[in-house]
Structure 1
Amino acid sequence: MKNFEELPRRLFWLCLIVTVLFGAVLYGVQAQRKYWPPVPQLQAAYNVLFIDRTLTSSDEQKHLQPSRGQGEGVTVNTKPDSTDTILMLGFFDHENQARLVDRNGDVIRKWSLNYMEHFPDEQTRPCPWMRPLLTDVHGVVLTARGELIFNYEYCGTVKLDQCGKTIWTINEMTHHSLIEAEAGGYLLLSRDKWKAIEGKERFPPFSTPATKEFISEDFILRVNDQGETLERISIPEIIFDSGLSALLTASNQEFKSSTVGRGEIVHANKIAELPTALAEKFPLFNPGDWAISMRGLNLIMVVDSETKTVKWHQTGPWIRQHDPEFTPDGRISVFNNNAYLTSYDAREKTRLDAPRNTNILMIDPVSRETEIAFGGKPGQDMLSIVRGQHELLSDGGMLITEFDAGRVLEVNDRGDVVWEYVNRFDDDFVGEITNSKLFTSGFFQTEWEECAS
């Protein structure tokens, strides 16, 4: 009888324990998907104890790559008396930072970039659980007035004055690319995440399973000088509406009804605009057309900015490329990473024995003939497994950002290195550099004012 009387109480506790365990498992699954606590904390602890095996902050380790023994600071400088300046965006002084330097590497101005300060409201910021160094910076513009606009990768865009005061922010998952539009304002990339069940007919076969798994959809944003969105265009929609959905599925990947086969439809990493001054060199295109790069598909396409239709596209010969640019001679230049993630080790650090095959590739859109403009020759070795950028200079040279090497190099029209900067962190590591840009004397229409510390 006594055992019978105890039965309800025991059943209650059993049900409570089962409920708590089920709730914990359910929360764990969701936390893993959405990066809720304690996933970031557990991941950081795991990295410190078992992956990095160092007392260096694991948040900092995210921004470091093995040194290739290429020196420190300015290592090549054939123009020491030049008044040019170079902007670099990346990991400096143990923080995300933008810095403007002279030819000797001396800092003229720097901006400390702290995500929590620029997006203080956890409820409205695009990455609510972020710590300052769990995000990084990618895509930057420096105006003639000394104002800095940049992206936190997938976590928002910020405009600062020359002393670092916030002018405006864009609370979207902006990422990778940010350029000034010829008509004014800016062009950049953004991303939405939505559950397949919310739009199963939107992008079949990606969303066909209609599960609660997430789909990532990249967009082009056109914003004005105040950071207000004027236009928002879906990149997958451009491809589908142009009758080119086969480009997205030509991967030998099985698409099933049971699960989302690939949540990231495209991985867009650059938008470039055809300037009016160069348009006559491109018989297939019009002023204002967009070149868009999609890394995982080895795909570059040119889109009519008015009709939002694809005019031209090509897959390869570039591999996991970045940064297409329209060149003055009527070609498109491409930062060809020419490497796979197998060039990283298990810690996502560059293998020092990996082939250094990154190059700058040129393609004629009409004939589709290609030529390597830099890379693959003695003295031109590069390896940037992800990211990377090149700027075409008025003298026919280029300013190249080799992300994984923490290196910026300027080369002349003969391919000779005339300036080089290495972002040495310590004896073993370099800090990654995401973007760089060269400014000639007379560009800035402002005096660099004293800023309160």
Structure 2
Amino acid sequence: MSSRLYLVLFTMAVGILVGAATVHFRLFPYQMLMSAKATVEDVMVNWEAFLGRAPVNQLIPGGYDGDGVTILDAQRSAPGNTLMAGVKGNAVALWLVTPEGETLREWQPPTTEILTDAEHIDGVEKPFNDFFVTLHGAALLPDGGTLFTISHYALVKMSACGTNDWVVPTMAHHAVFASHDQTYWAVTRFHHDTDHPDHNRIRPQFWEDAVIQVDSNGTILRTISILDVIEKNRLWGKLFGGQRPVPSISGDITHLNDVEVLSPEMADAYPDFDAGDVMVSLRNPNMVIVFDPETLDAKWSKVGPWIRQHDPDFGADGWIAVLDNRNDGADGTRFGGSRVVLIRPKGPFGGEWRVAYENSASTPFFTAKRGVLDLPGNGNILVTESEAGRVFEFDRSGDIVWEYINRYDAENLTSVMHAERYPPDFAVNAYSNCDQF
């Protein structure tokens, strides 16, 4: 055997050993190679989305039958029109539908144009095109405009006719809330790759969740760190759990996914709370907190009975409704699917609770992630089953009285990130001078 052949075989053996060691010990350039592999696989599967032809990356195969409104019990359904956000056809959009499913108004925000200046984004890649963004959290305003987040990129107010009134460059996501005092609240976050000067119990890298309050012009009035709320109320034990040693948590610590403000009209139903108190949902520790935004004192905090919950809402009757996702990593087969839980807070940590609606063989309901509740005011609850492309409304008896299926084509649905019911005459006269869409 020639020396050249020995050299070739030796080089091949060394290459194999180096490659094996790189993968096993995750040595440089392992992360770069894995990232490149993931990118290639993503492009191969979602090439139509990358070309801007179709939102194939946001399709839901199979699922529920039907298209648009499939159930309407006009006598028992809460009256009004429903604002939705998600993917509609081949567009990332918000749309307002009648009880019968007619689209009254549709907005298609030019999201990548809105995000031309996204220097605030840290740790998140800018979207390739509009199919790679999510409108997560939305509200219809009295002037006919909309408030929404381009998830993890910006908080946006759009006029009734679809022009941008203002953009707040912050990593807003999941939820927005129009408060009784004409201000707006949103969920945001900040990335830390070094120790936090005020929270050194948490090792970097990690995300610091926060809520922001903005005025009608989009000016940020205040930012409240959820870590400050936890620190003020000594709630660290609910985050660290049984992990050892302490500190031992990093990354996505709390996963804040909702903010809501208690209105003066509802305050009397909650004797331990005051108008203006803020409620937040922390998914990862399965915790809901109500606190005073001025002092950060917690009035009430509760871990469970929900698992990986979303969107707690104050009800006018003193009961808080919570979307209990019960994400079990097994399509709902371990915990039994999703449900809606009602709880009446009592004391700093307690409360009576009951299940208002849950998954069953005859009434399937499961969204592993995301999801939204809305309380339209007549005792019914509107549910956004985001991961299934469905919105449904049930009454006090647990009967479905309205259902909407967000169909894309014969084989696929698309996700609905948000749905909320508004009174029949809410803002409908604001669109008379606008083009149809």
Residue 310 (1) aligns with residue 284 (2): no
Residue of structure 2 aligned with 1:444, choices 417, 427, 435: 427
Q: Structure 1 residues 56, 251: closer, same or farther in 2, change over 3 A?
A: farther
**Deviation at residue 133 of structure 1 after TM alignment:** 2.1
Which shows bigger deviation, 122-131 or 367-376? 122-131
Of residues 360, 378, 385, the one that matches 2:340 is 360
Q: CA deviation at 1:265?
A: 2.4
CA contact (8 A) 1:140 1:435 kept: yes
C-alpha distance in 2, partners of 1:103/1:266?
37
Counterpart amino acid of residue 126 in structure 2: W
State the 1:204 CA deviation. Answer: 3.1
CA contact (8 A) 1:220 1:232 kept: yes
Pick from 331, 346, 349: which aligns with 2:319? 331
Q: 1:9 — aligned with what?
A: none
Q: Does 1:248 align with 2:239?
A: yes
Aligned residue number for residue 196 of structure 1: 194
Corresponding residue of 2:103: 107
Select 1:45's aligned residue among 32, 40, 43.
40
Deviations 1:98-135 (A, max 9, x none): 01111222211111133212122355677663222222
Q: Distance in 2 between matches of 1:88 and 1:411?
A: 17
**Structure 1 residue 253: deviation in Å?**
5.3
Q: Distance in 2 between matches of 1:265 and 1:224?
A: 28
Contact kept? 1:254, 1:261, Cα under 8 Å: no
Tell me, yes or no, if structure 1 residue 119 matches structure 2 residue 119.
Answer: no
Amino acid at match of 2:127: M
The whole-number CA distance in structure 1 between the counterparts of 2:147 and 2:28 is 37
Alpha-carbon separation, structure 2, partners of 1:447 and 1:363:
37
How does 1:74-153 map onto structure 2 within 5 Å? 74-79=69-74, 84-121=80-117, 123=119, 129-131=126-128, 132-153=130-151
For the pair 1:57 / 2:49, whether they are aligned, the reply is yes
Q: Return the offset for 1:68.
A: 1.5
Cα distance between partner residues in 1 of 2:69 and 2:334? 25
C-alpha change, 1:165 and 1:43, in structure 2 (3 Å) is farther
Partners of 2:194 and 2:411 lie apart in 1 by 44
Alignment partner, residue 281 of structure 1: 269
Amino acid at match of 2:434: E
Between the two proteins, what is the percent identity of the paired residues? Answer: 26
Q: Does 1:424 align with 2:407?
A: yes
| Conserved? CA contact 1:82–1:103, under 8 Å | no
Give 2:12's aligned residue.
none
Q: TM-score, normalised by structure 2?
A: 0.84
Alpha-carbon distance change, 150 to 77 in structure 1, aligned in 2, over 3 angstroms: same
Q: Deviations over 1:143-176 (max 9, x none)?
A: 1211011001111111111221111001011111
What is the aligned counterpart of 1:223 among 206, 214, 218? 214
Deviation beyond 4 Å, 4+ runs, structure 1: 25-32, 80-83, 122-128, 253-256, 353-356
Unaligned runs of 5+ in 2: 1-25
SS for the counterpart of 1:308 is: coil
Name the SS of the counterpart of 2:228 in structure 1.
Answer: helix
Residues 372, 123 of structure 1: alpha-carbon distance in 2 compared, 3 angstrom cutoff: closer
Q: What amino acid maps onto 1:57 in structure 2? A: A
Distance 1:158 1:253, change over 3 A: farther
Aligned counterpart, 1:401: 384
* Distance in 2, Cα, partners of 1:29 & 1:191: 29
Deviates more, 1:54-63 or 1:165-174: 54-63
Q: Distance in 2 between matches of 1:287 and 1:301?
A: 15
Structure 1 residues 229 and 28: CA distance shift in structure 2, 3 A: farther
How much has 1:340 moved relative to structure 2?
2.6
**251 and 291 in structure 1: CA distance in 2 versus 1, 3 angstrom threshold:** farther
- Native 8 Å contact 2:150 2:172 kept in 1: yes
The one-letter code sitting in structure 2 at the alignment partner of 1:118 is: I
Contact 1:95 1:113 in 2 (8 A): no
Q: What's the CA shift for 1:357? A: 1.9
Are residues 305 and 429 of structure 1, via their aligned partners in 2, closer, same or farther at CA, if it must alter by over 3 Å? Answer: same
d(CA) in 2 for partners of 1:308, 1:184: 21
**Structure-2 residue corresponding to 1:18:** none
Aligned residue for 1:322? 310
Q: Match for 2:326: what amino acid?
A: N
Whether the 8 Å CA contact 1:146–1:161 is kept in 2: the answer is yes
Q: Secondary structure at the match of 1:113?
A: coil
Deviations 1:71-105 (A, max 9, x none): 22111122299972111100112221101111222
Range with bigger deviation, 391-400 or 56-65: 56-65
Matches of 1:245 and 1:384 in 2, distance apart?
A: 29
Q: Provide the rounded CA distance (Å) in 1 between the counterparts of 2:244 and 2:428.
A: 52
> What is the TM-score normalised by the length of structure 1?
0.81
Q: In the TM superposition, what is the alpha-carbon distance from 1:378 to its structure 2 partner?
A: 5.6
- How many angstroms does 1:436 deviate by? 0.5
Contact 1:145 1:445 in 2 (8 A): no
Give the conservation status (yes or no) of the 8 Å contact 1:122–1:128. no
- Answer yes or no: is 1:413 the counterpart of 2:396: yes
CA distance in 1, matches of 2:47, 2:194: 41
1:70, CA displacement in angstroms? 2.5
CA contact (8 A) 1:67 1:405 kept: no
Q: Who is 1:20 aligned against?
A: none
Q: What residue in structure 2 maps to residue 380 of structure 1?
A: 363
Contact 2:59/2:415 (8 A) holds in 1: yes
Counterpart residue number, 1:183: 181
Structure 1 residue 42: deviation in Å?
A: 5.7
**Which is further off, 128-137 or 54-63?**
54-63
Question: Distance in 1 between the 2:336 and 2:309 partners?
Answer: 15
- Flag structure 1 segments of 5+ consecutive residues without an equivalent: 1-24, 33-37, 208-212, 344-350
RMSD (Å) for aligned C-alpha atoms: 2.9
Residues 178 and 187 in structure 1, CA contact (< 8 A), matched pair in contact too: yes
